Amino acid sequence: MVSVRFEEADVTVKEGATLLEALLDAGHDIPNSCRAGACQSCMLQATEGTPPAAAQNGLKDTQKQQGYFLACRCEPEAPITVQRGAEAKTVPAVLVSKQLLTPSVLQLRLNAELDYLPGQYVNLMRHDGLCRSYSIASVPGVDDYVELQLRIFPDGQFSQWALNDFVVGESIEMQGPFGDCFYTESDLTQPVLMAATGTGLAPLYGIVRDALQRGHTGDIQLLAGAKSAEGLYLVDELNALAERFANLTYTPVVLEDGDLPAGCAVGDLNAVVKDKVADTKGYRAYFCGSEERVKKLRKQTFLAGANMQDIFCDLFTPSSQV
């Protein structure tokens, strides 16, 4: 028998039984369906100790890294502490700088005591309760701030406030981090495909720098799309990064021809991605941006050979109350 700590209670798991069975027998309401590891509705998170490897079969590396496992496949071999999911942490964040990267993209840099991975996202909560979600573009240990990149909407309640009224030195509540769109060191030689539109570049900017800092040696293709050249940003920074790391190729992509930066491709992002990487078998992929665009990229990449477990996405959905 093994003792498991769950929601301030100790639950005993008998030999040959699963943690799900023990929790249900103890009166805990744990969602479940197939009890065979397929539906993943009984997923829990270990906060202390390590779940058995069999309980993490079928999960993404990012989920495994965060301690997630399936209770229906878990026959614990040693005491562990588990919970239903990551508890959201809320911390104060102080604005240290802001600047427009383009007329419609605002960069915010904030000081906050936040344990995060580049590519995850946080909620910013204004004092009146207005809340919006933004992906993290900074890298812990490299940047001494949390960087967010906001798309400015003409009638956006939050983005217009951040642009016009949020001042350096002012504090705001930051909740998180959330999401599993981040880099893992499962295979440093695996080729990587990254593509984004608009501020979908924010999480990829963090992820690609994190991967290179961790010593990733596999080929990395990063494509960032915009309607026109005026919508591109971080071009100089990414070109400099590509010059420093021979395994990184950065390609800006625009729909409209005109005065374009060096190396810029013209056309639909999906078509340019397919032209760059026609066969995605063995690739790890990261796609960020509008829901429609990301879904199309995910489908295209899967059909071209990538394993769905190796495709990580961050879908941006504007608030209905802009």
Give 2-83's CATH code, choosing from 3.30.70.120, 3.20.20.140, 3.20.20.60, 3.10.20.30. 3.10.20.30
Q: What contacts 136, CB < 8 A, 6 or more positions away?
A: 116, 118, 119, 120, 121, 122, 146, 147, 148, 177, 202, 203, 206
User: Using CA atoms, how far apart are residues 190 and 103, in angstroms rounded to an integer?
Assistant: 36
pLDDT at 321: 45
pLDDT at 320: 47
Q: Which part of the chain is CATH 3.10.20.30?
A: 2-83
Identify which of 311, 255, 249 has the alpha carbon closest to the alpha carbon of residue 286.
Answer: 311
pLDDT at 79: 93
pTM confidence score: 0.79
pLDDT at 29: 86
Task: State the virtual CA torsion across 110, 113, 118, 124 in degrees, nearest 10.
Answer: -50
**Type of residue numbered 203:** P
Q: Which part of the chain is CATH 2.40.30.10?
A: 89-178
Backbone region of residue 58 per phi and psi (left: phi > 0; alpha: psi in -120 to 50; beta: other values): left
- pLDDT tens-digit series, residues 180-212: 899 998 899 999 999 999 999 999 999 999 999
User: Using CA atoms, how far apart are residues 67 and 86, in angstroms rounded to an integer?
Assistant: 10
pLDDT at 153: 94
Pairing assessment for the beta strands 105-111 and 43-48 based on DSSP bridges:
unpaired
pLDDT at 87: 59
pLDDT at 176: 83
pLDDT at 85: 73
Q: Which helix (H) or strand (E) holds 296?
A: helix 291-303
What CATH number should be reported for the domain whose range is 192-316?
Answer: 3.40.50.80
Q: Which part of the chain is CATH 3.40.50.80?
A: 192-316
**Type of residue numbered 246:** A
Q: Flag residues of the chain having pLDDT under 50.
A: 320-322
Pairing assessment for the beta strands 105-111 and 171-178 based on DSSP bridges:
unpaired
Q: Supply angle C-alpha 74, 80, 86, rounded to 5.
A: 85
What CATH number should be reported for the domain whose range is 89-178?
Answer: 2.40.30.10
